[in-house]
A and B are shown apart, each in its own frame.
Chain A
Amino acid sequence: MTTKYAETEPRQDAVKHVGRPVDRVDGRAKTTGEARYAAEHRYPGMAHAALVHATVARGRIEAVDTEAARAVPGVIEVLTHENAPAMKPAPKTSLMNLSSLASGTTVSYLATDEVHWNGQPVAVVVAETPETARHAASLVRVAYRELPAVVDFAAEEPNASPQKSSVLQPAGGDKGDAVAALAAAPVSVDLRFTTPPEHHNAMEPHATIAVWDGDRLTVHEGTQNIAWLRAHLAQRFGIPERAVRVLSPYVGGGFGGKGFVWAGTLLAVLAARATARPVRLALTREGVYRTVGGRTPTVQRVALGADGDGDLTALIHTSVAMTARIGGMPEGVVSSSRHLYDAATIHLRQRLVRLDLLANTAMRAPGDSVGSFALESAMDELACELGIDPIELRRRNEPERNPMDGKRFTHRMLREAYEVGAERFGWRERDPRPGSMRDGRWLVGMGVATAYHPSLTMPADVTVRLAADGAVVVRCALQEIGVGAATVQAQITADELGVPLEAVRVEIGDSELPAGPGAGGSAQTAGAAAGVLDACRKLKESALALARRAPDSPLRGRRLDDLEARDGGLYHGGRGETYAAILARAGRDHLEAGGGTGMLKFLAKTLNERRRWVKAASGAHFCEVRVDRDTGEVRVSRWLGMFDVGRVINAKTAAGQLRGGIVMGIGMALTEATQVDPRTGRIMNPSLSEYHVPVHADIPRIDVHWLDEPDPTMPLGLLGIGEVGITGVAAAVANAVRHATGKRVLDLPITLDKLL
């Protein structure tokens, strides 16, 4: 087996482009600055907006003094709840209309005097320049009547209430009596973990340009979900969806922060309507922190019981996370514990507190990234208790079927990932005794943890058009959030049609295109691929139908399944013809086909699949840290991730996604935390100088590899890769720190003072 996976090389079969490290089709545009992001567009007469943020957590506005702001030359309008045009309230959420989930919060901005969080926009200044708008915004004076607010997550923990289950996300569950089994277990650990709130910090701060033309609206915005944004704006502003155009060809990173619709977007559109000017609202970094939700903090308990051999007899994982009174996504914090270990008994619970803070939102691998920290740290601690190698402990408890309900895995190769990864990382050299490995003043530690992220697909409508001159155009409103969305679909199309990669152009990022899936849940590539495969097949069928009508066609009498698409045409062995020849003979200048599934059919299929199978991307992280024995400084010195992500479409962009997830996980492990003032609910570090993401000097070389075994149930066998990389990372670091120092850090981030 080790020989089989000796190198992460593209598979050598019929495929020509899939699997290769193809350069991004938009790489040049991005690196030369030619690519224009939302905030960089200009319109004649365009005005600029800036937000005024509430300075209390909860209350009523008693008075707004806008006089000084209005007096600033260049100020066009100051909108407050006293004069702003009304917006429709946020829609009721319903699974039958997924775009109803798009609301970041349920607040009707500038519609009432109510303040729901410290930072809520309470006024918008529109001016001729961004500087004027910002300056005037600083002059708006707001008087509040403060109301009691619940903002301290830690203090609120005892008041948490059970989270509700949904079709897509069970909130708890039991298998046997885990509490009794834990009490009876010969060996056990019972640990309490905390993780802080975090923010996405995408490179591009959120920006919106809104342009009204009568009752038609054009919006430039970097979004992770064009379809949701469009539907949401139509609903809030009372216009038909077809009257809204969303342009989002480039998105400067999202990580979940651009998946929902937040205040800045709505207020830009509102301001444009109120002033009858195109309006640009580019949030400052601070503005992003104040108006776009981040990751929920969590408190978690993981208790594990095992017999003397390390077979798990009990697994208890419970969590408390937050939502806000004004919205927020309940996270599946304990969800990895449903799938990872074959424990004889399992007890899972998720609880929530509701706070007077900005609604939390999805951030890269919601639930799983924080949940895996607790679960995988606890597994490591159990391995220490048992005196068993942590990989061996995991191997022993690797389930054949999904532990909670016995469903089959479509595909699961964690054993292989650990085996191959351990070999390459040199795990054998690890001396298990804590503090035993040294390099001068540095204590060296090695840790492992499992990565796990469920795979899903979302429906996509795709059209593929093939012209007589060989040019192929694929159209789908995908979001390019930095992942290479257009590039991978071009590769797939080129292979499916048997045409050169350069012949394929993929049009994305525009709501006028056929609707794409959102860039979330690691589901975009698979969803779009299904549509592309479907459309390409239909297109080839039409080509074949044309050919078969001609008496002299070598394809006469052939079925598509017997043919190979290559060299710009369809062939059976050496016999076949090019699309160009087929089209020329038929007197056609192009062929076009559409692919995709409708939403209802898709939902039915998804729910049906969920009843039968469990599928996920997974992997094994191997981490080496150095900890300064005197100062507690932690440096990650080596990293290897061995993943099972099904078939990899592009070796370069895939590696980028997996590495990026690991980098973000290292930030989560060591430096990142949004500091919320427990008295006022105000974020105290809303900037990159005080919220520390890792810098280059913090990140060692990261080796990523994959097993490259297609998943039998996914389009082309691919499993999403955007999120799995971050899961387990914080635990791998914590486990390595434990090995280096003997200290188990239960509270993220692992800062200096926690190691002394």
Chain B
Amino acid sequence: MDFLRPTTWEEALAAKADRPEAVPIQGGTDVMVELNFDVRRPAALLDLGQVAELRAWGMVGGFCRVGAGVPYTTIIEELGGPLPGLAQASRTVGSPQIRNRGSVGGNLGAASPAGDSHPPLLAADAVVEVESRDRGVRMVPATAFYLGVKRSALEPDELIRAVHVRPATGPQYFSKVGTRNAMVIAVCSFAIALHPGERRVGTGLGSAAPTPRRAYEAEELLARELDWQAPLDPALLRRFGELCAAAAAPIDDVRGTAAYRVHAIGVMARRTLTWAWNDHLGRRAA
């Protein structure tokens, strides 16, 4: 197995273009597990650890541009203000060790339906910046990024450079149900983001379908019927929960039954909207 160690983004893109079969490795918290269990044996590993640009974040064109290699710990410590949903989700990932190494870029690269960063990225209309040496940059909306279980829109010669997320203009929440309190893959998860300027609410479902997805009908319901000045209408809240649950297409597995997941998505949808709404109206629940 070859071990490629580019030190700049250009070198990395060149390496990937020359060796499209090379598997990128950032924090390694997915890749090393797969190697360990012999799930795959790539001909080459492309280590992105030396590419400093990937570990930085900054503001670009009104968006937070978060380098693909920024670890969860940094997101928690530095981005809780502009990206509260993503920061909340980051807090629930694995353990301190995993959060020190694992990255959003890696989460996207793995494209697991259970990845915790996906729901908040979907809810906040994130855009994934991918690039190849020969075809340049593509900006792929998160909604178009996830194609199937562990499949994404990334082409073999492309690398993920960053995610672009507009700083929150309203409350955001993330909720996750697991079989224990840490070190656990979500049984299912849900994210919500209020966009008061557009009178719109974004959603993201995790572990509830072959890909992370948004609950479009539920979002449309709120766009149509939500009164942004008034307390939340309980009937509307209930319908929102139902539509979010209806957007789920889960399976039974060792972590939970499909029926449970559908139920829990409904619960989390109602719960996170309630929290967000309380914040929105300026009286956060105790």
Interface residues of A, Cβ cutoff 8 Å to B: 138, 630-633, 635, 670-671, 675, 684-685, 687, 689-690, 692, 694-698, 751-753, 756
Contact = CB atoms under 8 A, between A and B. Distances in A.
A691 to B, nearest CB: 10
Interface in B172-186: 177, 179-185
Contact of A671 (B33, B180, B271): B180
B256 A675 contact: no
B267 A696 contact: no
B200 interface: no
A694 B180 contact: yes
6 contacts: A635-B181, A697-B181, A698-B182, A752-B177, A752-B264, A753-B257
Which residue among B37, B179, B180, B263 has the maximum number of chain A CB atoms within 10 Å of its CB? B180
Contacts of A697: 180-182
Given A630-B271, A685-B254, A696 B182 contact: yes
B182 to A, nearest CB: 4
A671 B256 CA distance: 12
Contacts of B267: 630-631
Contacts of A684: 254
Contacts of A753: 256-257, 259-260
A695 B183 contact: yes
B38 interface: yes
Nearest to B178: A633
A465 to B, nearest CB: 46
A160 B99 CA distance: 49
B256 A670 contact: no
A670 B180 contact: yes
A756 B177 CA distance: 14
A265 B253 CA distance: 35
A637 to B, nearest CB: 12
B263 A756 contact: yes
Contacts of B33: 689
* Interface SS of chain B: loop
Contacts of A694: 180
* Interface SS of chain A: loop
Given A631-B177, A685-B254, A695 B264 contact: no
A694 B184 CA distance: 10
A697 B177 CA distance: 14
A126 to B, nearest CB: 19
A323 B232 CA distance: 58
B247 interface: no
Contacts of B271: 630
Contacts of B185: 689
Given A631-B267, A692-B179, A696-B182, A756 B38 contact: no
Contacts of A635: 181
B159 interface: no
A697 B181 CA distance: 5
B182 A633 contact: no
Given A695-B182, A697-B180, 9 more contacts: A630-B267, A689-B33, A692-B184, A695-B180, A695-B184, A698-B182, A751-B256, A752-B187, A753-B256
A633 B267 CA distance: 12
A101 B185 CA distance: 41
A633 B254 contact: no
B180 A692 contact: yes
B269 to A, nearest CB: 11
Nearest to B264: A631
A463 B269 CA distance: 68
A698 B177 contact: no
Given A753-B259, A753-B260, A690 B179 contact: no
Interface in B158-194: 177, 179-185, 187
Which residue among B183, B263, B271 has the maximum number of chain A CB atoms within 10 Å of its CB? B183
A286 to B, nearest CB: 8
A621 B163 CA distance: 50
B193 to A, nearest CB: 21
Contacts of B259: 753
Given A631-B267, A685-B254, A690-B254, A752 B260 contact: yes
Interface in B182-221: 182-185, 187
Given A138-B38, A752-B187, A698 B181 contact: yes
- Those 6 A-B pairs whose CB atoms lie nearest each other, nearest first: A697-B181, A753-B260, A630-B267, A697-B182, A695-B182, A698-B181
Nearest to B36: A284
A630 B175 CA distance: 13
Nearest to B33: A689
B272 to A, nearest CB: 12
A689 B30 CA distance: 12
Interface in B35-81: 37-38
A694 B264 CA distance: 22
Which residue among B187, B257, B260 has the maximum number of chain A CB atoms within 10 Å of its CB? B260
A692 B181 CA distance: 11
A94 to B, nearest CB: 42
Contacts of B179: 670-671, 692, 751-752
B180 A698 contact: yes
B254 A675 contact: yes
B256 A752 contact: yes
A696 B180 CA distance: 10
B177 A695 contact: no
Interface in B253-279: 254, 256-257, 259-260, 263-264, 267-268, 271
Contacts of B184: 692, 695
B97 to A, nearest CB: 12
Nearest to A632: B260
Given A684-B254, A685-B254, A695 B181 contact: yes
B182 A756 contact: no
A15 B183 CA distance: 45
Which residue among B38, B187, B254, B259 has the maximum number of chain A CB atoms within 10 Å of its CB? B254
A689 B182 CA distance: 11
A756 B264 CA distance: 10
Given A696-B182, A752-B256, A633 B177 contact: yes
A138 B36 CA distance: 13
A139 to B, nearest CB: 11
Interface string B75-103: 00000000000000000000100000000
Contacts of B187: 752
Nearest to A135: B38
A285 to B, nearest CB: 10
B155 to A, nearest CB: 30
Contacts of A631: 177, 264, 267-268
Contacts of A751: 179, 256
A684 B187 CA distance: 18
A632 B257 CA distance: 13
A138 B37 CA distance: 11
A690 B254 CA distance: 8
A687 B177 CA distance: 21
B180 A756 contact: no
A246 to B, nearest CB: 31
A671 B180 CA distance: 7
A752 to B, nearest CB: 6
A671 B183 CA distance: 13
A671 B182 CA distance: 12
B274 to A, nearest CB: 11
Contacts of B180: 670-671, 692, 694-695, 697-698
A189 to B, nearest CB: 28
Contacts of B95: 695
A155 to B, nearest CB: 19
Contacts of B38: 138
A756 B260 contact: yes
Contacts of A632: 260
Contacts of A756: 260, 263
